[in-house]
Structure 1
Amino acid sequence: MIGKLFFSMSFMGMCMLWAQDSLEVSQDSLQKLNYQVIFDRVKRAGKDTAQQSLYLKAYLDKARMENNYGEIVQGYKNYLHRSEGVTRLAYADSMVLTAKSAKDARLIGSAYLTKGIVFYSEKKYKKALKNYLLADHYVARSDDAYLDHKLKYNIALVKYYTEHFDEALGLLQECQAYFKEKSIPGYLNTLLLLGRCHQRMKNHGLSSKMNNLGLMEGKRLGSNSLAIYFVQSQGINHAMEGNYPMAIAELDSSLRVIRNTKNDFANVVLSAYYLGKSYWGMDQREKAVDYFKKVDASFRERNYMKAELLSTYRYLTEYFAALNDQELRLSYLKKHIEAIDYMRSQSQYLDDTIKIGYDLKGIQREKQRIEQLLVVKEQRQNLVIAVVIFLFVLLVWLTYKYQHARRIYQKRFEAIINGQGPPLKQVGKVHVVPSQPLDISKGKIDAVLSRLEHFEGNRNFLDPKMSASKLAVIAEVNGKYLSQIITHYKGKRVMEYINDLRVDHIIEQIKQDRKLAYYSNGSLAEVAGFNSERAFINAFKSRVGITPMFFMERLKAEGVPE
């Protein structure tokens, strides 16, 4: 048995040595081929990773042996396009380092462009733009028109993402004229992005024109790889114009192809959003919500969000509000805020970088002008010191006022939480209860008071359309008598009476369900029947003597569960 085992291990070792010798011979023979032949074999290897690795290594080894910087960069690029994750970035860095060793402006610019494209594909737009601007610095020193227009196209993509559509159009029009004669893929991609820019600018006629041109030109040129995206773009136009059945037909057909053959996550999400929008427009809201949830999942799982997709959360919030599912409604409100904050952080950086980087010369001139103006700063120093002192004193005073108000607010808050009710108001002249009996029959007064009691019990005051005139109809009395009765028996004006009922109601609701403390003022206003957030805030403060913000803040500080 031991002898058999020894023989098997020896045989395996010999096989490994033969395989290694064979591999070395294969590598040596491959390096005698020209680069194009090796690259063709890389492409033909397809999903055969062993064969592909063999040819990729042969390409790069040949370039290194010949000390051919351009082909070394291409060798790393070959690896990059067949890798995933952080490995792609490592190959991009190797491209840049090699190109810098060659001291070739065109090669360095091309390497930075590729690195920027890697970041863009990972939705890391800040880093993508940074590398595009580095590429522009070097490409501008070369005479490579194709590379220059390829760079312009990729910068236009970032400007499209940041909603600088006019600037993107200017770059794309240059690309269209150049690529029409020089590059079929570049030409068709430019037409597609031109259509998308016009689409986002609500120039649907021009967008449709570009889509139709793209389909015709693709057919004429024998290149239909982007045809499905032109169909998708046309479906989006229909959705934005309210032609929902046509939108659904084109978006659904294009989505199936994109999902199954293109491995294009971003456009799958985009189609899902506009399908949701179309079904919502046709009042098929459950179907719409299924698609909107897919957009939300893309943000939660991949941190992918565009300004174009933000209203997803408005639809989801509205849907769950209609179902009276307050927990999900609150959840999507929070997600909406998170998405907006994320977009602001992305767009703010990108806006500044575009203006300071790509339009560098204009900014440098402006910088010099400002530096000259700052020469007079020393002469104004005394004034600045005086202003600082004034602001410091003002800050101390405002801080004192703020802390004093907080102490008062805290006492009122504790009184409300302890069930003591809102503080009594000092009744002004318009609220003075008449000392003489009302010139209204006792029977009518009793009837009105009874109807008001019924009005309070049924919570009819939560109707956002409730007004003094509408309450008069409910109380079956004219407005003048209603005002006199409420002033006499309630000590307040009609609308003040209605608003106080609303505030008392929302306070009781919050005390019973502390999760409401996480609602925005706008949402609480809606729940309480107010027509606007401002009206709610004013009525709340008038009723209890503190602001809704302070009230919610103190509830949260006491450990309100989310």
Structure 2
Amino acid sequence: MFRLFILLLVSTAELWVAQSTDNVAYHQIRKKYDYKKVNDTTALSYVDLLIALAKKEKNYSELTYAYQDALHFEPSGYRKKLYADSAITSAQHSCNNDLIGSAYLGRGIVSYFIFKDYQPALDDYIKALSYARYSTSPYIKYNILYHLGVMKSYLGYYNEAVSQFEACSAFFRQEILKNNSPDILYNMRKGYYNTLHQLIYCYQQIGDDDSADRLIEIGKREIPKDLDFVQLRSCVF
């Protein structure tokens, strides 16, 4: 679950970085907790400040980011769901397709990974993808497509999942080859390796051992052995 929440936070971070530099007060508050880990409740007092400020200023974009930050740090599944609902409402007020898609993705992740409530999660992933088609950020589209593939593979629709994971793999691979910043490169590598893991599993389930073995060899060559990727290597091999 931690890895999947990280993928969500990467997509939202990509949205708020540029805006936050123009909104100094929000940026200064967020600096107080942006290094903290998932479910670290010590961040919530600062997130509450962001929520209050965004509500006061009717800044629905920043309010959406704050609610998404809150569901990241809140350990209670029930309260995560409330924050995810609030993120969708504020995102809709922002009229920003990127934010709306990301907010639906967030609620889908909570439904799927916290409550094992699969149909609402699937509905939210599909809604997220419908907004992502108009997104200015291709990462958001492929991040949503990845989660939709995870859902379909869990439900046994392996061939459909393979199609989506192959599209994600091609995108992440292409981004890795670009001259991106270290942070973006790290995130794209994470996305690529996670997708390889999912593809290997799906190929094995449909009996395509040749494709699975080919990707395992790619993983052995390319996934680093350092601590950041040790869990991924253990999943793939």
TM-score w.r.t. the length of structure 1 is 0.33
Question: Could you report, residue by residue, the CA deviation over 1:364-395 in whole angstroms, capped at 9, with x for unpaired residues?
Answer: xxxxxxxxxxxxxxxxxxxxxxxxxxxxxxxx
Q: What is the number of equivalent residue pairs in this alignment?
A: 200
Question: Could you report, residue by residue, the CA deviation over 1:250-304 in whole angstroms, capped at 9, with x for unpaired residues?
Answer: xxxxxxxxxxxxxxxxxxxxxxxxxxxxxxxxxxxxxxxxxxxxxxxxxxxxxxx
Describe the shift of the 1:35–1:189 C-alpha distance in structure 2 as closer, same or farther (beyond 3 A): farther
Specify which structure has the bigger relative contact order, considering alpha-carbon pairs within 8 angstroms and separated by 6 or more residues.
Answer: 2
CA distance in 2, matches of 1:227, 1:213: 16
Q: Does 1:76 align with 2:82?
A: no
Q: Does 1:42 align with 2:42?
A: no
SS of 1:42's equivalent in the other structure is coil
Q: Could you tell me which residue of structure 2 aligns to residue 54 of structure 1?
A: 45
**Contact kept? 2:145, 2:164, Cα under 8 Å:** yes
Q: Deviation of residue 204 (structure 1)? A: 3.1
Q: Could you tell me which residue of structure 2 aligns to residue 231 of structure 1?
A: 234
Q: Could you tell me which residue of structure 2 aligns to residue 174 of structure 1?
A: 167
Q: Does 1:193 align with 2:186?
A: no
CA distance in 1, matches of 2:58, 2:83: 18
Q: Deviation of residue 96 (structure 1)? A: 0.6
Q: Deviation of residue 105 (structure 1)? A: 2.2
Q: Could you tell me which residue of structure 1 aligns to residue 20 of structure 2?
A: none
Q: Does 1:85 align with 2:72?
A: no
**Contact kept? 1:215, 1:227, Cα under 8 Å:** no
Q: Could you tell me which residue of structure 1 aligns to residue 125 of structure 2?
A: 132
Q: Deviation of residue 145 (structure 1)? A: 1.2
Q: Deviation of residue 81 (structure 1)? A: 0.9
What 5-or-longer segments of structure 2 have no aligned partner? 1-22, 177-187
The letter for the 1-side match of 2:99 is: L
**Contact kept? 2:33, 2:43, Cα under 8 Å:** yes
Match of 1:101 among 86, 90, 93: 93
Question: Could you report, residue by residue, the CA deviation over 1:200-227 in whole angstroms, capped at 9, with x for unpaired residues?
Answer: 12333432332342343231xx875443
The letter for the 1-side match of 2:230 is: A
The letter for the 2-side match of 1:150 is: N
**Contact kept? 1:211, 1:231, Cα under 8 Å:** no
**Contact kept? 2:153, 2:202, Cα under 8 Å:** yes
SS of 2:136's equivalent in the other structure is coil
What 5-or-longer segments of structure 1 have no aligned partner? 1-31, 235-562
Query: Which moved further from structure 2: 207-216 or 188-197?
Result: 207-216
Q: Deviation of residue 74 (structure 1)? A: 0.8
Q: Deviation of residue 33 (structure 1)? A: 5.1
| Identical aligned residues as a percent | 29
**Contact kept? 2:60, 2:94, Cα under 8 Å:** yes
Describe the shift of the 1:171–1:225 C-alpha distance in structure 2 as closer, same or farther (beyond 3 A): same
Q: Does 1:216 align with 2:208?
A: no
CA distance in 2, matches of 1:120, 1:215: 30
Describe the shift of the 1:223–1:95 C-alpha distance in structure 2 as closer, same or farther (beyond 3 A): farther
**Contact kept? 2:40, 2:73, Cα under 8 Å:** no
CA RMSD after TM alignment: 2.5
Describe the shift of the 1:146–1:223 C-alpha distance in structure 2 as closer, same or farther (beyond 3 A): farther
Q: Could you tell me which residue of structure 2 aligns to residue 394 of structure 1?
A: none
TM-score w.r.t. the length of structure 2 is 0.74
Note the 1:278-317 alignment, pairs <5 A: none
CA distance in 1, matches of 2:235, 2:145: 24
Q: Does 1:121 align with 2:124?
A: no
Q: Deviation of residue 52 (structure 1)? A: 2.1
Describe the shift of the 1:98–1:208 C-alpha distance in structure 2 as closer, same or farther (beyond 3 A): same
Question: Could you report, residue by residue, the CA deviation over 1:468-488 in whole angstroms, capped at 9, with x for unpaired residues?
Answer: xxxxxxxxxxxxxxxxxxxxx
The letter for the 2-side match of 1:116 is: G
Question: Could you report, residue by residue, the CA deviation over 1:144-196 in whole angstroms, capped at 9, with x for unpaired residues?
Answer: 31111111111111221122222211111111111121622211111111111
Q: Could you tell me which residue of structure 2 aligns to residue 163 of structure 1?
A: 156
SS of 2:105's equivalent in the other structure is helix
Q: Deviation of residue 103 (structure 1)? A: 2.1
Q: Deviation of residue 87 (structure 1)? A: 0.5
Question: Could you report, residue by residue, the CA deviation over 1:57-84 in whole angstroms, capped at 9, with x for unpaired residues?
Answer: 2222333344322221110011101122
